[in-house]
């Protein structure tokens, strides 16, 4: 089987980190290009990794390097951490949109996005509306293969403290399947499994479906 190359943004986060580890361990991928605002340090010394450290506002300065068969985007923050709705929109919509545009222009075949449960550009909830606007922008690009993964609360060991998400994870664990927390590793596995199939058009994976797709 022909080896694939991968490009990932958001590898320092919970889902992105899980995705990176699985890409490096997979025999399918010969090279993984990591785009990051801060160096991953020792983790970037893996033989398969090529690290590009760049301010995401300056992505065009490295546009020639944003080249791979499969692209994975796990960029994201919280409004509290971003400091304002405008900054949140920049990180969760504008940066991923430009990242996708540049990768597509360089010939990428598949794009996988960590979106969110309830994402809709018509939502009255700001967070969900921004996620939906990004999904709409990606659809409009006409990717050969596009995967939108919509997890509920993401479960896993975070380096940063997010007490509200931790509380939600605990409360929802025994709730309806649609809203139950989803392990970050399962999300990453579902993204990679879908990318390797390269299904034509748009694939939407709702939160309750993620464990099944992950396998």
Residues serving a catalytic function are 127, 131
**Residue 74, token pair as written in the block:** 């796990």
**Residue in the block written with tokens 């499969």:** 70
Strand ranges, E, within the chain: 4-9, 29-36, 49-53, 70-73, 110-114, 145-150, 154-155, 182-183, 201-206
206 DSSP β-pair partners: 150
**Residue in the block written with tokens 């927390």:** 181
- What is the Cα–Cα distance from 109 to 183, expressed in whole angstroms? 27
DSSP 8-state secondary structure symbol assigned to residue 116:
-
**Residue in the block written with tokens 């290009």:** 33
């Amino acid at each position: 089987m022909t080896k694939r190359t991968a490009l990932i943004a958001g590898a320092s986060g919970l889902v992105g980190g899980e995705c990176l580890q699985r890409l490096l361990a997979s025999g399918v991928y010969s090279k993984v290009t990591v785009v990051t605002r801060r160096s991953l340090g020792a983790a970037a010394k893996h033989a398969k990794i090529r690290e590009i450290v760049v301010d995401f506002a300056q992505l065009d300065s490295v546009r020639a390097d944003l080249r791979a068969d499969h692209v994975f985007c796990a960029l994201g923050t919280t409004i509290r951490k971003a400091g304002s709705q405008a900054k949140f929109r920049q990180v969760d919509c504008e940066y991923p949109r430009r990242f996708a545009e540049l990768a597509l222009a360089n010939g990428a075949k598949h794009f996988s996005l960590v979106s969110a449960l309830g994402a809709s550009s018509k939502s009255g909830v700001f967070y969900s509306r921004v996620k939906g606007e990004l999904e709409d922008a990606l659809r409009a690009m006409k990717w050969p293969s596009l995967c939108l993964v919509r997890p509920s609360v993401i479960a896993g060991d975070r380096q940063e403290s997010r007490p509200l998400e931790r509380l939600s994870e605990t409360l929802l664990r025994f709730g309806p399947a649609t809203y139950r927390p989803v392990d970050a590793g399962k999300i990453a596995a579902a993204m990679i499994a879908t990318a390797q199939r390269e299904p034509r058009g748009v694939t939407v994976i709702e939160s309750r479906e993620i464990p099944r797709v992950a396998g």
